[in-house]
Structure 1
Amino acid sequence: MVALSNDQPVVFHAEKLTKTYQMGEVAVRALQSVDLDLYEGEFAVLLGPSGSGKSTLLNILGGLDIPTSGQLIFRGHNLTHANDRELTQFRRASIGFIFQFYNLIPSLTARENVGLVTEIASRPLSPEKALAIVGLSNRLNHFPAQLSGGEQQRVAIARAIAKRPEVLLCDEPTGALDYRTGKLVLGALQEVNQEFGTTTVVITHNAGVAAMANRVIHMGSGQISSIEHNDHPVGAELLEW
């Protein structure tokens, strides 16, 4: 594992991103004037307690939500005022999402679940290739109910990477998994990051995961409190938590 230089191209440029939700008469500020650049090919970890703004930031980066103010630029294109059609196209072409819960279709095999994405992608990996990358070549024809939780999460990763996204956004991808299985899933994310140069952002409550990141972005109260640069990221198999 090697450190990533910040002379890499900027993929996302966020400037003064603010998100406010109105809860009755109370305004809840989920993000407060966040400035952040994310770089091509980096593996970044977002750390912070519940309510710190991590998921809100991830959803705005992925075009699932829009900021109340500030701007978000993706490879020179300002997404802040994009309409629904433009955001849909952005998500479809450039973003892979992985969440804590796998959202696989129970009646489809692993191969068929991944194949749903390849049908709408412009330059997809084959389902077989995507599943091989996450170590599931021997589970192609298994249904979700026949797979462990970790295997289902790796199918979800294969589904996300099959369209070759430029960015992987992962919200607590190991939150429902045990220690050993979580390391396998993180290893799959790390392999994708290294093989394809996919910019990868992982939300976690688990500080131990930070050891595998190029940068660790600490959040609290809707703000970035600090950013750590890791000159010696480790392989997922060496993580301890």
Structure 2
Amino acid sequence: MDRAMPEPIYRTRGVTKVYGTGPAAVHALRGVDLDVPEGELVVLLGASGSGKSTFLNIIGGLDHPSSGQVWFRGQDLAALSDADLTRYRRRNVGFVFQFYNLIPSLTARENVALVTEIAEAPMDPAEALDLVGLGQRVDHFPAQMSGGEQQRVAIARAIAKRPDILLCDEPTGALDSQTGVVVLKAIETVQRDLGTTTMVITHNAGIADMAHRVLRFVDGRLAGVEVNETRVAPDQLSW
């Protein structure tokens, strides 16, 4: 039995995304209806090309749907101009990708500060780095860090502006399992301690066991939603 769902932070109805026209058109999303609860950790599973990243890009304001509606706390993102979407991303959304996109010539603190300088009520960069377990590495440069540490800097950078949403696209995709667990612990800490609604795309089905909810995408459609009554800690996951 599904537990009571908190008030959704996102609602999508009939969301489609088509790239190109005519016989060559690619239907990346084929009518996605979904409510995303506020404050949960949600994992998106599916093969390459199933629509996961397209869906994340649309709710994150990086792309427009071809049709359908996407509400963020009652605001229809599909109706926003590009300028309004930029403001939405800046105020509400943090992004973490497979590749860290850190600036090599800046320290961890300085990489995080790039975001806090344009945020309305940011964390201190050192506080954000401490939250992801890098309190002793604030003055190190990316080249002095492991891949897992660089990814945690990227997480700190994403959450330092105190976003409502943290969207992670294959955050452990370039990491070995041991390092990936450390990164997942950082993501879980952010979700738990800050209450940030967190959505994680992964090809690794084992990661789904740490989520509150699991969304399964197949051929551009939402094929299923599962609720984990019992969640597994990142260091207990089966990879």
Measured against the shorter chain, the TM-score band is over 0.9
Q: Partner of 1:214 in structure 2?
A: 212
What amino acid does structure 2 have at the position aligned with 1:214? Answer: H
The within-5 A match list for 1:92-241 is 92-241=90-239
The number of residues matched between the two structures is: 238
Q: Normalization by structure 2: what TM-score?
A: 0.97
Shift of residue 235, structure 1, vs aligned partner: 1.5
Partners of 1:12 and 1:75 within 8 A in 2 = yes
User: How far has the Cα of 1:234 moved from its partner?
Assistant: 1.6
TM-score, normalising length: structure 1: 0.97
Measure the CA separation in 1 of the matches of 2:7 and 2:102.
34
d(CA) in 2 for partners of 1:236 and 1:23?
A: 43
1:225 match: secondary structure: strand
Q: CA deviation at 1:81?
A: 1.4
Alignment of 1:8-19 (within 5 A): 8-19=6-17
1:86-119: CA deviation from partner (whole Å, max 9, x where unpaired): 0000000000000000000010000000011111
Deviation of 1:143 (Å)? 0.5
CA contact (8 A) 1:6 1:39 kept: no
Quote the offset at 1:5 in angstroms: 4.7
On the 8 A contact 1:216/1:227 being kept in 2, the answer is yes
- What's 2:83 paired with? 85
Q: Secondary structure at the match of 2:136?
A: helix
Give per-residue Cα distances to partners, 1:18-37, cap 9 Å, x unaligned: 00000685111000000011
Deviations 1:161-213 (A, max 9, x none): 00000000000000000000000000000000000110000000000001000
**Alignment partners' CA distance in 2, 1:5 and 1:57:** 25
Give the AA of the match of 1:221. D
Computed over aligned residues only, the root mean square deviation of the Cα atoms, in angstroms, reads 1.2
Which structure 2 residue ranges, 5 or more long, are not aligned?
none
User: Can you give the 5+ residue segments of structure 1 that lack an aligned partner in the other structure?
Assistant: none
Residues 25 and 236 from structure 1, CA distance in 2 versus in 1: closer, same or farther, beyond 3 angstroms? Answer: same
Cα distance in 2, alignment partners of residues 213 and 186 from structure 1: 11
Q: Give runs of ≥4 in structure 1 deviating > 4 Å.
A: none
SS in 2 for 1:44: strand
1:45 maps to 2:43: yes
